[in-house]
Each structure stands twice: as structure tokens, then as C-alpha cells.
């Protein structure tokens, strides 16, 4: 009697050969429906968990993911001509400021995208320098967005930083501390409340929108 084949080995072997469809069709036709149904449940569950892990449970790359960049773009907005922000500072593109930004300047969309990436590098580096804990990608994205909004100095002096560096659970600290950063000179601002909620959700799920 021939030795029974192991399905895992068959899948690996036949995936490299043109008759793989024939092999899997035979398996499907000769397997009870209830077994196939159970297999489908397990397969879909494992696949979903794998995709979830890949998207936001993986270690930080040290750069914002597309989800993180999308969040920043949404809340910063893009202006191709210099304007004064609520603090009276000349601002351009996706919230870019600094001594090189002057009133009357105009840029292209392409330039605004590059300026955003350049700005993000500053805050990505700040989070890597100031936070000692190992971060998941979703945690890193949320913290960079927050840093870009409040500034490197505020991050450095924050309770959030101290708590994470002392070894507290990163996600718990983010959930508890980020919502506190929602105030302007005259109290809580709806835009900041919304942004903090979005950053917490990004940290929790790896998704924005």
C-alpha cells in the first residue's frame, strides 16, 4: 500500500507544477462538505490575522506608514500658498513652518508632498530618539502625528514619554495620555479632540479612515 501523502507537502509540491488546479479540484471533490466548511472558517481567520499582523502589529520601520501619512494629511490640510496659522505663523503645504516659509510664497502639489516628507523625518527621528521602548508600527505612526502637532519640545517634557520610557504598556499610555493634548489657549478645541481620537484609533488598529 502506498504511503499516504501529507497535504502540506502536496500543497508545496503542486504549487510549482501546472497541474496544481487538477490536484486541488480532486481534493475538493473528495472531501466532505462539512470538512471544507470548517477549513474555510479556519483559513479565513488565519488569513485575516496574518494581514492584521502585517499591517500594524509589526515592529516599527522607523518611518510612517501610508495610514499614518494619510492621517497627517487629513488633519493638516494642504495649502499651496502661504497663510497665517491660528498662532500667526506663516504656514505652507501640509502645515510646514520655519524661517524659510515667508508670506507670499506659492508651491506645487509635488513640492508640498516633498516638504511633508522632509518634515516627517524630523519628527520620526525625534520619536526614535526620545522614546526608548520598542514600538509597533501603529504606535509609531500615532506618536509621530502627535509630535508633528505639538512639537518636539512638548514630546520631550511629556508625561507620555516618561511613562513609556519607564516601561508602561505603550498602547495603554497612548490611550490615556494622547486625549489630554486637545487644548488651545482657551480650552479644548474640536479639531484637536478629533485628531487625538484618530491617533488613538490608529495606534489601536493601524487604520485611518
Domain match, 72 and 36 both: no
**Cβ pair 200, 206 in contact under 8 A:** no
Tell me, yes or no, whether 70 and 13 share the same domain. Answer: no
Q: Is residue 130 located within the same domain as residue 43?
A: no
Q: Where does 77-208 have alpha helices with state H?
A: 109-130, 137-150, 152-157, 159-165, 170-177, 190-205
pLDDT of 185 reads 81
Is residue 76 within 8 A of residue 153, CB to CB? The reply is no
Residue keyed to cell 501523502: 5
133 in the same domain as 200: yes
Give the pLDDT score at 50: 44
Decide: pTM greater than 0.85.
no
Q: Residues 132, 169: one domain?
A: yes
Range of the domain at 40: 7-57
Asked if residue 134 and residue 174 are part of one domain, the reply reads yes
pLDDT attached to residue 186: 84
**23 and 70 share one domain:** no
Which of the 8 DSSP states describes residue 59?
B
Three-state SS at 192: helix
pLDDT of 171 reads 96
Q: What is the DSSP letter of 53?
A: I
**C-alpha closest to that of 76 among 138, 123, 6, 35:** 123
Instruction: Give domain status of residue 27, yes or no.
Output: yes
Which residues does the annotation mark as catalytic? 76, 85
Are residue 70 and residue 145 in the same domain, yes or no?
yes
In 3D, which of 172, 166, 170, 122 has the Cα closest to residue 148?
122
Residue tagged 490575522 (cell numbers): 49
Residues 157 and 184 both lie in one domain:
yes
CATH number of the domain that residue 131 is part of: 1.10.530.40
Q: Is 182 exposed, middle or buried (0-12, 13-18, 19+ CB in 10 A)?
A: middle
Q: How many CB atoms lie within 10 A of CB 205?
A: 13
Question: Tens of pLDDT along the chain (209 residues)?
Answer: 556 656 655 555 544 444 555 666 677 778 887 777 776 666 555 444 444 444 456 888 999 999 999 999 999 999 999 999 877 889 999 999 888 899 999 999 999 999 999 999 999 999 999 999 999 999 999 999 999 999 999 999 999 999 999 999 999 999 999 999 999 888 899 999 999 999 999 999 999 86
Q: Comparing C-alpha atoms, which of 62, 89, 59, 83 is closest to residue 151? A: 89
Amino acid at each position: 500500500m502506498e504511503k499516504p501523502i501529507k497535504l502540506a507537502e502536496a500543497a508545496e509540491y503542486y504549487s510549482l507544477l501546472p497541474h496544481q488546479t487538477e490536484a486541488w479540484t480532486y481534493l475538493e471533490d473528495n472531501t466532505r462538505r462539512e470538512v471544507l466548511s470548517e477549513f474555510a472558517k479556519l483559513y479565513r481567520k488565519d488569513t485575516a490575522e496574518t494581514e492584521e499582523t502585517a499591517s500594524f502589529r509589526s515592529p516599527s520601520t522607523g518611518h510612517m506608514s501610508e495610514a499614518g501619512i494619510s492621517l497627517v494629511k487629513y488633519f493638516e490640510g494642504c495649502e499651496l500658498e502661504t497663510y497665517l496659522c491660528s498662532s500667526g505663523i506663516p504656514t505652507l503645504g501640509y502645515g510646514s513652518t520655519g524661517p524659510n516659509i515667508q508670506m507670499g510664497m506659492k508651491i506645487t502639489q509635488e513640492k508640498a508632498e516633498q516638504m511633508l516628507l522632509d518634515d516627517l523625518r524630523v519628527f520620526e527621528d525625534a520619536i526614535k530618539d526620545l522614546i526608548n521602548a520598542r514600538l509597533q508600527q501603529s504606535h509609531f505612526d500615532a506618536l509621530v502625528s502627535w509630535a508633528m502637532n505639538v512639537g518636539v519640545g512638548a514630546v520631550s517634557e511629556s508625561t507620555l514619554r516618561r511613562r513609556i520610557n519607564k516601561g508602561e504598556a505603550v498602547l495603554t499610555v497612548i490611550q490615556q495620555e494622547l486625549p489630554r493634548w486637545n487644548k488651545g489657549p482657551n480650552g479644548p478645541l474640536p479639531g484637536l479632540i478629533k485628531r487625538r481620537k484618530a491617533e488613538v484609533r490608529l495606534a489601536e488598529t493601524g487604520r485611518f479612515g
